[in-house]
């Protein structure tokens, strides 16, 4: 490790920022480990895919709280942010005690009552928790008509208002059909081996399933519109991470799904209640060679400052991560190699997120890793179960530099990580990262010092649009440069980021202009907004 | 093809006849028609055997077999006799499979013969030449198949130490380094090995191609593209190099050139998915969406999994497949 760190240090030039990320989880009160199947060997695929995390402000006190999803043998946990980087477990008191194979989590105010609700996916029955005034969470799954008629392997999820009616609809990815009674044992067939070691079977060889879209009705219920909307049309995909965004700039939210060992999906919103799956022709199904990758997590940002949302997807070991550059109107080119991202092929990547850690106005990229199979440690090679994280600094001009080795000790810790969520837990303009580690306590990464660059955080509240402002697009201009971002639910790997939008402003002490396109179609402009604070913006009624 | 080219190159230094030498060089560069012509012109008594070797390597077994059989029986020197014997075996098997393409017995016997021959040859090698670099090489190849890349690299390094002039070892070592990891250090180490292969054989198009890809991954795009162009020049039918050059043209927005190159690639290898995908993207980026859709349809067809492949396989293994 010492040698590796030294080599990585050599690659970081003096001009690059030197962040110092520390893992403050234990000090912050996050000491409880979260079970997720075997720690030394895994019998079934269900033990490999979980789980996500969320950063949300459930009680509207202005501080982000923490939600961690658990695998079988534990409960999902909600931790209240007490301030001063300390959290208290409030799971039992708020009615969130659970059991089962928790997978993903997404947040949104589905009933527009001003409090952010939670949706948790499972191998088994998903759960919708209605936030009752920040004092209690009520399981309203059945009342909301979200009961499933069979056991499904639900993974990524996202609230979105796909028909812009002001009510949040819900997308749920499905990985595959899994039944431990019929799934072969490790080593039973060619799909149950990895580099000569018997490992859990799948996903290849296990039956596919279909993704689900629920339309929100008035009165707090949902209707499964997967068939009518054509979401269920594509077959032959092992769906995991979900990302929403208006990729083609038509004002309507589209849905991207990272798929494992099969082509990833891009559902383009047709504006009439249906979607057309167009990932191949739009260039986001495969890698540059036209090969399916093992897509896990997915995130979006305008990394090159051209005004279009680009997509990043984490993949399996022996595969490159994939960065798709949006060349306009939702047509993408694989820019992985050109952007300098093609190096880290020894890790299985999961949680990922664009965030501006040095507030220079360019979105950087962090991904967390961990092999699917603990058994790989027996091989003794470069591929290991527990891995460090990777941090890419956005150098501008479409290039990233790998600064992982010189970004503080937290990135070099070895974990088998899955979900990661990004948000500012202390409202100081430096983004923290919460990570779910298999069979360990979570990690909470915080920079030891904030830099001199300025920032602004926008908390949007819809009026005519959905109250969480999901789908709202912001264009911020400072010192002659524009940045765009959107408010989104879900994302990364089965996780939920801070719903507020964070922008680094570099040396600018104010944002010259902030333009908001609300999902309702309304536009709003603010000028000369002072930096280094959280700004609340309500949609004009 | 790469293996035969390397074997023929081994024979190069001992040759006196100019036409024979030029023929071998032409074959190595993928100019098969030219190679045949040189071998036909050559007055060297071994030229007909080389001609037969080229015919055998390029699908002309019917013409090659009589000459190969004669060379193997008595006409050639020991090295050429060995090459003729290997080519003859390969031709007989190809002919059998061509005449009986769906015959399970023929395919089974072919598989068994290969397996038996492999086992016997490896056993003999370990018994009779345990200290040879070939033992390290074969050990590396076996470890590579087993996914033990680190150990495979160690064996290739030992082989290189024993025989620094042997062809293909640096190439294999470079490739195994790349498969194991693609970090900056691994990329540079692999590049050095491919350059090492090129130092022994400057006409190795595959090594040239790998160097080109690594340089691009290292951010040295222009240098990388010129190496890819050289790889393609060395072997005009090298589809991977052709596709890579086509994609470089596409990135430069030189759409007509990119489309022309990629069309050539799909003609050379109609089932090459990467070539079709790259052509689809070239059409799309050029604005010809209809042509892009046509290419997508071809790609979709190529990527369809064989019907029932997995369940059939499971049945053979006695497993009960999960219900769809």
Query: Where is pLDDT greater, at A113 or B315?
Result: A113
Cβ atoms of residues A154 and A145 within 8 Å: no
A280·B181 Cβ contact <8 A: no
Chain mean pLDDT for chain A: 95
d(CA A118, CA A26): 25
* HSE, side-chain direction, 13 A CA sphere, residue A30: 30
Average pLDDT, integer, range B181-209: 93
Which phi-psi region, left, alpha or beta, contains residue A182 (left: φ > 0; alpha: ψ -120 to 50)? alpha
- Which residue in A has a C-alpha nearest to residue B303's C-alpha? A291
Contact between chains at B182 and A195 (C-beta distance less than 8 A): no
Q: Are the beta carbons of A281 and B296 separated by less than 8 Å?
A: yes
Q: Do the strands A454-461 and A534-538 form a parallel or antiparallel pair, or are they unpaired?
A: parallel
Burial of A463 (0-12, 13-18, 19+ CB in 10 A): middle
Q: CB–CB of A290 and B285 under 8 A?
A: no
Residue of A nearest to B305 (CA): A236
**Which pLDDT score, from 0 to 100, does residue A205 have?**
92
Other C-beta atoms lying within 10 Å of the C-beta of residue A409: 12
Residues 322-341 of A with CB under 8 A from B: 327, 331, 333, 337-338, 340
Contact A289 B148 (CB under 8 A): no
Mean pLDDT of the B67-72 span: 88
Whole-angstrom distance, CA of residue B278 vs CA of residue B259: 9
Exposure b/e, B279-294, CB count within 10 A at least 16 = b: bbbbbbbbeeeebbee
Cα separation, B214 vs B233, in Å, equals 18
CA distance B20 to chain A (A): 39
What pLDDT is attached to residue B24?
83
Identify from B147, B249, B302 which residue to disrupt to test chain A contact, counting A C-beta atoms within 10 A and taking the largest count: B147
Mean predicted confidence (pLDDT) in B177-199 = 91
**Interface A:B, Cβ pairs < 8 A:** 106
Q: Give the confidence band of B317 by pLDDT, cuts at 50, 70, 90.
A: very low
Substitution target from A194, A289, A332 for chain B, most B beta carbons within 10 A: A289
pLDDT digits (tens, 9 = 90+) for A272-291: 999 999 999 999 999 999 99
Distance from CA of A182 to the nearest CA of B (A): 6
What pLDDT is stored for residue A343 in this prediction?
Answer: 81
Ordered DSSP codes for B193-248: HHHHHHHH-TT-HHHHHHHHHHHHHTT-HHHHHHHHHHHHHH-TT-HHHHHHHHHH
Q: Which two tokens stand for residue A443?
A: 């990690």
What pLDDT is stored for residue B177 in this prediction?
93
Check if A186 contacts B (Cβ < 8 Å).
Answer: no
The answer, yes or no, to whether residue B190 has pLDDT greater than 60, is yes
Under the banding of pLDDT at 50, 70 and 90, the label for residue A64 is: very high
Whether A95 contacts A109, CB under 8 Å: no
Instruction: Find the helix or strand (DSSP H, E) in which B3 lies.
Output: helix B2-11
Note the pLDDT of residue B60. Answer: 86
Tell me: ipTM over 0.85. yes
pLDDT for position B76: 63
Residue A15 has what pLDDT?
Answer: 56
Is A290 close to B179, i.e. CB distance below 8 A? Answer: no
Residues from chain A contacting residue B299 (CB–CB below 8 Å): 280, 290
CB contact under 8 A, A196 and B299: no
Name the pairing type of β-strands A21-23 and A53-56.
unpaired
- Compare CB distances from A11 to B148, B184, B217 and report the shortest one's residue: B184
Predicted model pTM: 0.86
Residue B305: what pLDDT? 67
Q: With an 8 Å Cβ cutoff, is A281 touching chain B?
A: yes
CB contact under 8 A, B181 and A345: yes
Locus of tokens 């392997």: A153
Give percent of chain A above pLDDT 90: 92
**CB–CB contact B148 A177 (8 Å):** no
B1-30 pLDDT, tens digit per residue, is 454 455 555 455 455 578 888 888 887 766
Which tokens in the block code for residue A94? Answer: 């708020």
Chain B hits for A182, Cβ within 8 Å: 320, 322-323
Q: What is the SS3 assignment for B80?
A: helix
Residues of B in contact with A204 (CB under 8 A): 310
Among A105, A126, A32, A34, residue whose Cα is nearest residue A73: A34
Instruction: Indicate yes or no: CB of A290 within 8 angstroms of CB of B319.
Output: no
In the prediction, which pLDDT does B306 show? 61
- Cβ–Cβ gap B299/A207 under 8 Å: no
Pick B184's closest partner by Cβ from A196, A327, A343.
A343
In chain A, which residues have their Cβ closer than 8 Å to the Cβ of B146?
195-196
A158 three-state secondary structure: strand
Q: Are strands A212-216 and A197-198 parallel, antiparallel or unpaired?
A: unpaired
Q: And the tokens for A431?
A: 């983004």
pLDDT in tens, A447-489: 988 789 999 999 999 999 999 999 999 999 999 999 999 999 9
Looking at the complex, does the CB of residue A205 fall below 8 Å from at least one CB of chain B?
yes
Half-sphere exposure (CA, 13 Å, Cβ side) for A171? Answer: 34
């Amino acid at each position: 490790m010492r040698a590796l760190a030294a080599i990585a240090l050599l690659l970081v030039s003096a001009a690059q920022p030197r962040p110092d990320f520390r893992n403050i989880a234990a000090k912050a009160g996050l000491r409880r480990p979260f079970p997720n199947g075997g720690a030394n060997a895994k019998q079934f695929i269900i033990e490999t895919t979980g789980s996500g995390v969320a950063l949300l402000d459930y009680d509207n006190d202005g501080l982000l709280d923490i939600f961690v999803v658990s695998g079988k043998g534990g409960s999902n946990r909600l931790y209240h942010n007490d301030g001063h980087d300390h959290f208290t477990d409030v799971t039992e008191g708020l009615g969130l005690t659970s059991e089962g194979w928790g997978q993903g989590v997404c947040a949104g105010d589905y009933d527009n009552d001003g409090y952010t609700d939670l949706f948790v996916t499972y191998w088994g029955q998903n759960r919708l928790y209605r936030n009752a005034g920040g004092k209690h969470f009520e399981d309203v799954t059945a009342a909301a008509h979200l009961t499933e008629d069979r056991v499904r392997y639900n993974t990524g999820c996202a609230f979105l208002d796909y028909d812009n009616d002001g009510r949040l609809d819900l997308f749920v990815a499905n990985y595959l059909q899994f039944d431990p009674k019929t799934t072969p044992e490790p080593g039973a067939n060619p799909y149950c081996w990895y580099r000569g070691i018997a490992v859990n079977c799948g996903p290849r060889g296990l039956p596919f399933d279909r993704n689900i879209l629920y339309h929100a009705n008035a009165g707090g219920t949902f209707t499964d519109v997967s068939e009518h909307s054509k979401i269920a049309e594509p077959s032959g995909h092992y769906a995991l991470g979900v990302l929403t965004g208006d990729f083609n700039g038509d004002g309507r939210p589209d849905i991207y799904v990272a798929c494992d060992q099969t082509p990833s999906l891009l559902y383009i919103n047709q504006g009439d209640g249906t979607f057309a799956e167009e990932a191949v022709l739009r260039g986001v199904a495969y890698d540059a060679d036209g090969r399916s990758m093992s897509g896990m997590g997915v995130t979006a940002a305008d990394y090159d400052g051209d005004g279009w949302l680009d997509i990043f997807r984490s993949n399996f070991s022996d595969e490159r991560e994939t960065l798709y550059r949006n060349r306009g109107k939702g047509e993408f080119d694989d820019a992985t190699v050109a952007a300098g991202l093609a190096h880290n092929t020894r890790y299985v990547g999961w949680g990922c997120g664009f965030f501006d850690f040095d507030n220079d106005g360019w979105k950087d990229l962090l991904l967390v890793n961990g092999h699917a199979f603990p058994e790989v440690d027996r091989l003794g090679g470069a591929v290991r179960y527990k891995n460090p994280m990777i941090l890419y600094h956005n150098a501008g001009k479409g290039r990233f530099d790998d600064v992982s080795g010189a970004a503080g000790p937290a990135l070099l810790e070895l974990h088998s990580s899955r979900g990661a969520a990004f948000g500012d837990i202390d409202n100081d303009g430096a983004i923290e990262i919460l990570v779910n580690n298999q069979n360990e306590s979570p990690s909470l990464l915080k920079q030891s010092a904030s830099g001199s660059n300025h920032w602004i955080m926008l908390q949007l509240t819809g009026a005519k649009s959905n109250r969480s402002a999901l789908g709202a697009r912001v264009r911020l201009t400072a010192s002659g440069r524009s940045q765009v971002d959107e408010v989104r639910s879900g994302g990364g790997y089965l996780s939920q980021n801070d719903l507020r939008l964070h922008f680094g402003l570099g040396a600018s002490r104010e944002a010259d202009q902030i333009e908001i396109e609300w999902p309702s179609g309304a536009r709003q402009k603010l000028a000369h907004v002072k930096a280094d604070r959280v700004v609340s913006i309500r949609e004009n009624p | 093809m790469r293996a035969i080219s390397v074997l023929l190159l081994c024979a190069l230094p001992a040759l006196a006849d100019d036409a024979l030498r030029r023929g071998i060089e032409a074959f190595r560069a993928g100019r098969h028609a030219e190679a045949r012509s040189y071998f036909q012109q050559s007055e060297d008594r071994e030229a007909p055997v080389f001609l037969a070797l080229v015919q055998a390597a390029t699908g002309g077994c019917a013409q090659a077999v009589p000459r190969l059989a004669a060379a193997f029986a008595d006409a050639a020197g020991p090295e050429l006799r060995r090459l003729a014997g290997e080519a003859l075996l390969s031709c007989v098997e190809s002919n059998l499979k061509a005449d009986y393409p769906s015959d399970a017995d023929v395919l089974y016997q072919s598989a068994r013969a290969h397996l038996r021959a492999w086992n016997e040859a490896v056993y003999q090698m370990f018994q009779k030449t345990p200290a040879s670099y070939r033992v390290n090489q074969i050990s590396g190849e076996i470890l590579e198949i087993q996914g033990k890349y680190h150990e495979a690299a160690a064996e290739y390094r030992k082989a290189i130490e024993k025989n620094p002039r042997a062809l293909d070892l640096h190439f294999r070592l470079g490739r195994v380094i790349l498969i194991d990891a693609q970090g900056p250090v691994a990329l540079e180490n692999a590049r050095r090995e491919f350059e090492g292969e090129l130092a022994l054989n400057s006409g190795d198009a595959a090594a040239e191609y790998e160097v080109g890809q690594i340089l691009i991954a290292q951010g040295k795009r222009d240098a990388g593209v010129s190496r890819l162009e050289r790889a393609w020049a060395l072997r005009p039918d090298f589809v991977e190099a052709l596709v890579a050059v086509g994609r470089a043209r596409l990135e430069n927005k030189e759409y007509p050139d990119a489309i022309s190159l990629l069309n050539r690639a799909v003609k050379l290898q109609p089932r090459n998915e990467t070539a079709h995908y790259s052509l689809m993207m070239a059409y799309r980026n050029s604005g010809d969406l209809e042509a892009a859709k046509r290419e997508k349809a071809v790609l979709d067809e190529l990527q369809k999994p064989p019907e029932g492949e997995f369940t059939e396989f499971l049945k053979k293994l006695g497993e009960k497949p999960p219900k769809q």
